[in-house]
Chain A
C-alpha cells in the first residue's frame, strides 16, 4: 500500500505514524492501550490456558480409556475435571471471544481507532490474566477447585469441602468477573459511540451485533454469579447461612443464582461464534448474508431469551411441575431464533458460490455440530427424557457439541480467517484443511459415543468404572478420538506458528472480504485507518466509490485527525459525526492495578481480610491517580464546557 501512495498522502501517513508511535519491547507491551496489542495478549494468554485445559481433558480421557485405571486418584480427578471446565469457559472461550476477537476486530470493523475506554481495556486484560494465574496457583499448590464447574452446595460448603479449594473458585470467579464485565461494557460503548460516520445501526456488521448481544448478556448475567459466590464465601468464611438448610437457607438458591448466570453464559459463549460465522460465510460464498435484519434481530433475541431458561438445568431437583413446564417451553422457544440463523447460514451457502477454504470448512463443521448439539438440546428440553439422562454422559455429549463444536470451531475458523490480517502472512491451506479434518473426525469420535454411554447409564464425573458396566469400548473410542482431536489442534498451532515466519505475504485484502477491517493494511497500523472511513451500506468493502473517496481524502488530508490519539465519536443510532474523541496514551497504571488486585485476592484467599482491605485502598488510590489530566489538556473557560 505504502509504495502506491502519492507524496501528499505519504506525508499524511508519516504524520500519523509519528503521532501513534508505540514504545518498543516488553515495556511497550506492558504499558500498551492499543486494542490490537491487548487483543493479541488476550489471544496468547487464552491459548496458553487452552493448552492447559486441553492437557486436563487428555488426562481425563486417559484415566477413562479403560476400566479401573489409576493414572489419577479420585481426588485429583475431581480437581482436574473441575479445572478443565473452569478453564475452558472462563479462561479460554470468554477471553478468546470478547477479549481477543472482540478487542482486535470490533474497532477495526466499525472504522474506529481504538476501544471507547483504552486504559480500562488494558486493565481488564491484566485482571483476566491475574484471575487465570490465581486459579492455576490453586492447581499448582494442590488446592484447585474440586466440586465441578457449577460447584453445587452443599458439596461445596465448608462442612464437606473444608480446604481452600472452593475459596479459590469463589474468589477466582469474582476476580475473573471484574475483567469480563469491564470488557463487555467497553465493547458496548465502543459499538454505540465509535462507529465510523455513516455506519448507522442497520449498516453495522452482523459480527458486531453478535458481540453486542454477548456483551449485554455478560453485563447483566455476571452479577448473579458474583452474588452467588459472595454468598458462598460469606457462608464459608464468616458462617452465614444462605445455603444451609439447617438454618433456614436453601441449597437451591445456589442453583438458581448460578444458572441465572449459567444459561446466558451459554449464549455469551456461542453468540461471538455466530458472529464469526456470519463474517466468514459471505466472504467465501461471495454473496451477502440472506435475511440480514432477521439474523441481527435473532442474535439479540437469543441473548434476551437466554435469561429466561435457567431452570432447565434443574429439571431433576424437584421443582413444581408448572415451573418445569414453563422452562421447558421457553427452552423450546429459543430454538426459533437459533434456527433463523442456522437457516440463514445454510441458505447463504447454498445460494452462493462457495469456495471451500479452511475458514469456511471450520464454519461448516460448526454448523454440523451445532445441529447435532441443538437437536440433543431439544431432547433434553423434554422433561421426562431429561430426568432419565440428567447427570449422565448424554449431557456431556450435548454441551461439548454445543460448546466445542459450536463455539471453538468458529474460533479456530476465525483464527485462520483473520490470520492474514493480523500477521500480514498467509497460512498453509493444505495443512489447514488437514487440521480441520483431523479435528472434525476427532470431535465426532470423542463426543458422539458419549450420547450412547449416557443413555446406557454412565454418570458424569466418575473417575473410573468396572468392566462389567459394558462402557469399555465406548470409552476407549472416546479416548482415541480425543488424541486425534489433540493432533488436529496441534496442527492448527503448528500451521499458524510456521506461517507467521514463512507464509506468503497476504496484502490488505486477500479474501475480498466485505467488512472494513480489510480496508487497512495487514497488519493494521497503530492508528488503524489513515483517514476515518465513511460508510454507506452494511458491506463497506464492496462499496468501491466509498473506498475511492477515502483515498482522495487521504490526498487532501481531510479527516486525518492527527492532533493526538483521536477518533470520531458518532451518534448512537444514525452514526452522525458528533465529536472528536481524544484517546489516552500508553500507561503503566493498568498493569499495576492488575498486580495490586491480584495481591488483594491472594490476601482474601489466605483469609487476611485487613490486608486485603488495605490493598483495596491502594487500588482505589491508583484509580484516582488514573485520572491525572493528560498533558496539554486545557480546562474549559468558565461558563462554556458544553
Chain B
C-alpha cells in the first residue's frame, strides 16, 4: 500500500488502485501502467468476441449438418462417396500444430523480441499457407467427385469445408498483414496486442478445424 492515492486522503475511498500512479501524468508513467496492466488489452477482448461470433457460425453449421443427418433416411445418400479419413486427419494435425509457433510468437512479442516474433509467425504462416494451398486444390477435386448440387449431404459437406478454408485464408492474411507491419514499423504496444490477437485467432480456428474434421468423418466413424 505504498503511495496512497491523493484523492483517497480526504473523503471516501475511490477504488483507484492504491499502488498505482494517479492517472499517469507523464508518458513514462503511462508506459509503466501499461507494463503492469492487469486486464487484457481491449484488442484481445475485441478479437475474443469476434471469435465468439465465428464460433457461433460454425456451431450453427455443424448443427445444421447433424440436423439434416437426423432428418434423412440415409446419410450420406446412396451412391455418394464416403469421406477420406487419413489425409484430412494428417492435414488437420499439421494445421493444429501451428498453434505452437503462433503461441510462442505472442510470448516473444510480449518479451519485446521482434526478430523472434517475426520468425515464428513467418514459420506458422508458411505451414498454414501450404495447408491452405493443398486444401483448396483438394476442394476442387472434391467438388467434382461429390458435387454440392447432388444432395443436401454434399452441400453441407462442401460448405463446411469451404467455410473453414475461408477462415484459414483470413488467418493467413492476418499473418501476412502482421508481418508486413512488424517489418516496417517495429514492435510497439499496439503491435504486441496485434500479434496476441492473431495468435488467439489461430487457436480458435484450429480448434474449429478439429470439430469440422470430426463432423465430416462421422459417416465413417
B30: contacting residue among A248, A570, A579, CB under 8 A = A579
Measured CB to CB, the closest approach of chain B to A236, in angstroms, equals 12
A223-B60, A234-B159, A642-B35 are known contacts. Are A636 and B189 too (CB-CB below 8 A)? yes
> Is B220 located at the chain interface by the 8 A CB criterion?
no
Cα distance A80–B11 when bound, in Å? 62
> Is B88 located at the chain interface by the 8 A CB criterion?
no
Interface string of B179-211 (1 = CB under 8 A from A): 011000111111110100000000000000000
Cα distance A231–B64 when bound, in Å? 10
In residues 501-538 of chain A, which contact B (Cβ within 8 Å)?
532, 534, 536
In residues 586-642 of chain A, which contact B (Cβ within 8 Å)?
620, 623-624, 627-629, 633-642
**In contact, A198 and B16 (Cβ under 8 angstroms):** yes
Stretch at the interface among B51-59, B92-100, B120-128, B134-142: B51-59
B16: contacting residue among A577, A579, A627, A633, CB under 8 A = A577
Cα distance A33–B165 when bound, in Å? 33
Measured CB to CB, the closest approach of chain B to A610, in angstroms, equals 16
A219-B53, A253-B68, A629-B190 are known contacts. Are A577 and B33 too (CB-CB below 8 A)? yes
**In contact, A578 and B39 (Cβ under 8 angstroms):** yes
A260-B60, A635-B186, A640-B112 are known contacts. Are A185 and B37 too (CB-CB below 8 A)? no
**In contact, B151 and A117 (Cβ under 8 angstroms):** no
**In contact, A642 and B16 (Cβ under 8 angstroms):** no
Query: Chain A, interface size: which category?
Result: 35 or more
**In contact, A534 and B14 (Cβ under 8 angstroms):** yes
In residues 169-194 of chain A, which contact B (Cβ within 8 Å)?
181, 184-186, 188-189, 192-194
> Is A420 located at the chain interface by the 8 A CB criterion?
no
Q: List B contacts of A200 (CB < 8 A).
A: 15
Q: List B contacts of A47 (CB < 8 A).
A: none
Q: List A contacts of B61 (CB < 8 A).
A: 227
Interface string of A534-571 (1 = CB under 8 A from B): 10100000000110010001000011010100001111
**In contact, B185 and A250 (Cβ under 8 angstroms):** no
Cα distance A620–B22 when bound, in Å? 40
**In contact, A222 and B53 (Cβ under 8 angstroms):** yes
Cα distance A642–B40 when bound, in Å? 12
In residues 1-38 of chain B, which contact A (Cβ within 8 Å)?
6-7, 11-17, 20, 22-25, 27, 30-31, 33-35, 37-38
Cα distance A230–B155 when bound, in Å? 12
**In contact, B185 and A641 (Cβ under 8 angstroms):** no
Cα distance A226–B53 when bound, in Å? 10
**In contact, A248 and B72 (Cβ under 8 angstroms):** yes
> Is B156 located at the chain interface by the 8 A CB criterion?
yes
**In contact, B17 and A224 (Cβ under 8 angstroms):** no
> Is B81 located at the chain interface by the 8 A CB criterion?
no
A242-B156, A248-B68, A581-B42 are known contacts. Are A534 and B7 too (CB-CB below 8 A)? yes
**In contact, A545 and B11 (Cβ under 8 angstroms):** yes
> Is A575 located at the chain interface by the 8 A CB criterion?
yes
Q: List B contacts of A192 (CB < 8 A).
A: 39, 45
Q: List B contacts of A570 (CB < 8 A).
A: 39
B64: contacting residue among A244, A253, A642, CB under 8 A = A253
**In contact, B110 and A569 (Cβ under 8 angstroms):** no
**In contact, A227 and B64 (Cβ under 8 angstroms):** yes
**In contact, A638 and B114 (Cβ under 8 angstroms):** yes
Measured CB to CB, the closest approach of chain A to B165, in angstroms, equals 14
Cα distance A239–B25 when bound, in Å? 62
> Is B130 located at the chain interface by the 8 A CB criterion?
no
> Is B119 located at the chain interface by the 8 A CB criterion?
no
**In contact, A239 and B149 (Cβ under 8 angstroms):** yes
**In contact, B17 and A576 (Cβ under 8 angstroms):** yes
Binding site for A on B (CB under 8 A): 6-7, 11-17, 20, 22-25, 27, 30-31, 33-35, 37-39, 42, 45-46, 49-50, 52-54, 56-57, 59-61, 64, 67-68, 71-72, 75, 77, 109-114, 148-156, 158-159, 163, 173, 177, 180-181, 185-192, 194
13 intermolecular pairs with C-beta atoms under 8 Å apart: A117-B42, A120-B46, A189-B42, A193-B39, A223-B54, A235-B155, A238-B148, A241-B151, A559-B23, A576-B15, A576-B17, A579-B37, A639-B111
Binding site for B on A (CB under 8 A): 116-117, 120, 181, 184-186, 188-189, 192-194, 197-198, 200, 219-224, 226-227, 230-231, 234-235, 238-242, 244, 247-250, 253, 256-257, 260, 532, 534, 536, 545-546, 549, 553, 558-559, 561, 563, 568-572, 574-581, 620, 623-624, 627-629, 633-642
Beyond the given A223-B54, A578-B38, A629-B181, could you list 17 further A-B residue pairs with CB under 8 A, ordered by the A residue number? A116-B46, A189-B42, A193-B39, A197-B14, A197-B15, A219-B49, A220-B53, A242-B68, A247-B155, A558-B22, A561-B24, A569-B39, A579-B33, A581-B42, A641-B110, A641-B188, A642-B192
The 5 closest A-B pairs by CB, nearest first: A635-B186, A248-B152, A223-B56, A240-B155, A249-B152
